[in-house]
Amino acid sequence: AAARLGVDTAFVGRVGGDGFADEAVRQIAGYGVDASLLLRDTDAATGIAVIGVDAKGQNVIWVIAGANGRLDESDVERASQRLKSSKVLLLQIEVPLKASLAAAATVRAGGGIVVFDPAPVPPSGVPGEVYGAVDIITPNEVETGMLLGSTPKTTDDAIAAARALRARGTETAIVKMGALGCAYASPEGEAFVPAFKVKAIDTVAAGDCFNGGLAAGLSRGLPLGEAVRMASATGGLATTRQGSAEAAPSAAEVEALLKST
């Protein structure tokens, strides 16, 4: 999504030694993402996800990690120059946390911002050290419930949850509430940003597109509130079409939606 919004974007990771690898690299590069930092790990299969979508457009995802589960600090070292010069790093929990934390430290040392989507949340939760190692945490309402023990249902709940996540050590917390919108709490203030009115048919990748829009806004130097609105517009538009990466909207589409309200 960030690449579709015109941001210089690179993917650090691994693919396997199977037939899926070439297709994965081709698709990633096809979206304008620098795929030169993808390592071919011939001792593993390429990671895949199986996605189910119900009649209401809601989704459930089964992840088979493959080569993604073998990411380690050597991958961080391999990408260190790119990481040191990055303005924003997007992280999740589909690769080993140790590697992600090493990448986060490298980016922050270079003055960049680390955005962490705690998904999928491990059964044991997220280790306490993670909260202070990232700048922004962006769980959805279900993930927030798994982290805090209580799932937010209302806008007030979402703001309270964002505050609670901040109290754990992350400077900024954004709680995504699907069709309701999202709440954020940060040193810049607190607010609830209502969702844009769109006709949703498929929620696959909406959260990822939200994060891509957020990263794009932050990399352009937008204030947090404006970056969150861009994220919300990007994620919202992704629900209006089927698919995952192919559902990411263009910069023109996002700008048009932002200007419409």
Catalytic residue, from 41, 75, 117, 208: name it.
208
- Per DSSP, the residues of 124-168 read T---HHHHHH-SEE--BHHHHHHHHSS---SHHHHHHHHHHHHHT
5 vs 8: CA distance, rounded Å: 9
Give the position of tokens 């945490």: 137
81 vs 101: CA distance, rounded Å: 16
8 is catalytic: no
Closest CA to 121 of 97, 105, 101: 97
- Residue 60, classed as helix, strand or coil, is strand
60 vs 58: CA distance, rounded Å: 7
Which are the catalytic amino acids?
Answer: 208
